[in-house]
Amino acid sequence: MEAKTTPKTILLLEDDVALNRAIVLKLEQKGHHVISTLRAEDALEVLKLQHPSIDVVWLDLLLPGMNGMEFLAEVRKNPDYKDIKVVICSVSGREESKVIAREIGVSDYLVKSDYELETLTEKVLSYA
């Protein structure tokens, strides 16, 4: 028998609409609540209103407008968000990006092509 997990709230920041929908579907099938955004500016607004209920942020780097690193820096500047886990899931596996993300305070940096969607969602959820 599979252990029942406590439902988590994930703030998803992914601008690829098809991938965004697939992630939402996968996480909701597991019983989790997903707040889906396509732009960093929208995700910051969600954090302002709902940060106490957010368990983990799933963050893409390549975004329109404010990019993922800029979003991460904004999150880490705000003392209200200091305990929020942020996991970058990006197509970019550049070592320079990983170093910068660690310096800013990312919880983990995952390269999308290294994982099947199922495994990627499990890894992100492990931080929630």
- Domain interval for residue 85: 9-125
Does residue 1 sit within a domain?
A: no
3 domain residue, yes or no: no
- CA dist., res. 33 & res. 10, Å (int): 6
Q: If we measure between CA atoms, which residue out of 19, 21, 58, 22 comes closest to residue 40?
A: 58
- Asked whether 75 and 84 are in contact (CB, 8 A), the reply is yes
Residues 47, 81 contacting (CB under 8 angstroms): yes
Task: Report the predicted TM-score, pTM, of the whole model to 2 decimal places.
Answer: 0.93
Q: How far apart are CA 128 and CA 126, in angstroms?
A: 6
Encode pLDDT of 52-110 as tens digits: 999 999 999 999 999 999 999 999 999 999 899 999 999 988 999 999 999 999 999 99
The identity of residue 128, as a single letter, is: A
Number of compact structural domains in the chain: 1
Domain CATH for 102: 3.40.50.2300
- pLDDT-based confidence at residue 2 (cuts at 50, 70, 90): very low
